[in-house]
Amino acid sequence: MFDEPVKEIMTRDVVTITPDTPISKAIGIMDENNFHHLIVVDKQDGKEEYYLVTMRDLLLARNPEEEVRTLMYKAHCIDEDTPVLDAICEMVDSGQRAAPIVNKYGVLVGIVTDYDIISRAARSKLLKDVDVKKIMSRPVITINENDSIGKARALMRDNNIGRLVVVDDDGKPIGIVTEEDILKKVFKPKQRMKYGEVKGEKVPRFGQPVKLIMSSPLITIDPDASVAEAARLMKEYSIRGIPVVRGDKLRGIITRHDIIKYLADLKKGAMIEVEIHGEMDKDVEDLAKRIIATEVKKMVKHAGKIHWIKINIKKERDKGVVPYYKITTYVKTPDKLYVGEAKPKGSIPNKLEAEGEDVGYVSEHVRWEFIDVLKDSLDSVLKQLEADHDRKNPKHQKERVGTYEEFNPEEFKRE
């Protein structure tokens, strides 16, 4: 599913605007088409340059009649033959929630958005095994139902988010307000807001309470629900974020961006480069690399993210006779450097004596002993990662570890 070319999921009929389009008109186009992004095409000297303007950008507008050129930014474009998972990584790295899709000549042929990706994620077998609580954002920034719309806009702008959960005086979540609500209901209202117009007193639109424009009742999801289910709800209701609630208590929020970032992190984690320093016997090199690849997959699932892995192999000789190995594995995560060391459990002289100093036999044994030492070194780090994972997730069920250890990056291709 995620290895198909991005052109298979993109929107082909692209609505574009020019840099001199008034912001009010851009908002109208977004409203009419239920868009959150618009591609701005700037033609100079016969060549087209592509820019993006987002709904969040438009919230910064001081004057609706300004031209969009004051808020647009140069877009990172993605080739139409790029696999979807690679396109997701490019979008996350560029900080975009949408991207123009171009052909090999650099000509615009479509657009891919977070909605397109979520539609695929809703059917993902991989995401059915991931709990919402694993990737949800917390703590959640909230706003009281009686606070002003102006305060809501300021909170969104200051925290670079697109939605706020609305709570009552008891802290119970009762609604949600989004940047889209502000743009459609305040910047470009279909009917005049008259709240507060009593006894000759008029309240400015941004001074009115946020409860007037919030969406209610809330669509929520349980922390133990799957990420695939969250994606399905986002697609079904055409929403971008879902509060995570248990009982009446707000636990977190999961957004399209959380899901997309998780997919990108999995892709990057599955492609970790392992540096190997030192020499190993050629007879066991292929087997050793397969063992390393398997153990690294397990480490990624427990660590979440790994910056780098280094394996130092030190070959020594006991009294100049038979070689033996000491292996140290270093694994760097965002929080910690893990070190696992291993060496032969028995001494070489004892082995020589036990085998009647049959050097040929012992040399063969040492080669396989290298594999045991390598496994011990990798396993030492894995156990440390497992222990830290369990401390951070005290309710973590042991049977879930089996699911994590069976993770295979090729799963992306099998869906």
Better-scored residue on pLDDT, 56 or 88: 88
Strand ranges across the sheet with 78-79? 78-79, 98-102, 108-113
372 Cβ contact partners less than 8 Å away, ≥ 6 residues apart: none
The pLDDT confidence band at residue 372, using thresholds 50, 70 and 90, is: confident
Q: Domain 272-414: which topology?
A: Double Stranded RNA Binding Domain (3.30.160)
Share of the chain above pLDDT 70, in %: 82
**Among 148-157, 202-211, 214-223, which stretch is predicted with the lowest mean pLDDT?**
202-211
| Burial of residue 410 (number of CB atoms within 10 Å: 0-12, 13-18, 19+) | exposed
Distance CA 334, CA 354 (A): 47
Reading phi first (left if > 0) and then psi (alpha if -120 to 50, else beta), residue 266 is in alpha
What's the full length of the chain, in residues? Answer: 415
The pLDDT confidence band at residue 410, using thresholds 50, 70 and 90, is: very low
Better-scored residue on pLDDT, 87 or 368: 87
pLDDT of residue 59: 76
Sign of CA dihedral 246, 249, 252, 253: positive
pLDDT of residue 197: 40
Looking at mean pLDDT, say which of 81-90, 302-311, 394-403 comes out highest: 81-90
For 137, list phi and psi in degrees, rounded to 5: -90, 140
Structure-token pair, residue 321: 């006779």
Average pLDDT over residues 343-352: 56
For 113, list phi and psi in degrees, rounded to 5: -125, 170
Sign of CA dihedral 204, 206, 211, 214: positive
Q: Where exactly does CATH 3.10.580.10 map onto the chain?
A: 6-120, 129-263
State whether residue 358 is helix, strand or coil. Answer: coil
**Residue 357: pLDDT above 60?**
no
DSSP 141: P
Share of the chain above pLDDT 90, in %: 51
Express each pLDDT in 311-339 by its tens digit: 999 887 655 566 678 899 999 988 889 99
Q: Does domain 6-120 have CATH number 3.90.1150.10?
A: no
**Among 107-121, 232-246, 377-391, which stretch is predicted with the lowest mean pLDDT?**
377-391
Average pLDDT over residues 153-168: 92
- Tell how far CA 241 is from the center of its chain: 14
Distance CA 289, CA 269 (A): 17
Express each pLDDT in 14-44 by its tens digit: 999 999 999 989 988 998 888 999 999 999 8
**Residue 412: pLDDT above 90?**
no
Beta bridge partners of 33: none
Q: Where exactly does CATH 3.30.160.100 map onto the chain?
A: 272-414
Instruction: Judge contact between 228 and 128, C-beta under 8 A.
Output: yes
Q: Does domain 129-263 have CATH number 3.40.190.10?
A: no
Distance CA 383, CA 327 (A): 16
**Residue 245: pLDDT above 60?**
yes
Average pLDDT over residues 91-119: 95
The pLDDT confidence band at residue 126, using thresholds 50, 70 and 90, is: confident
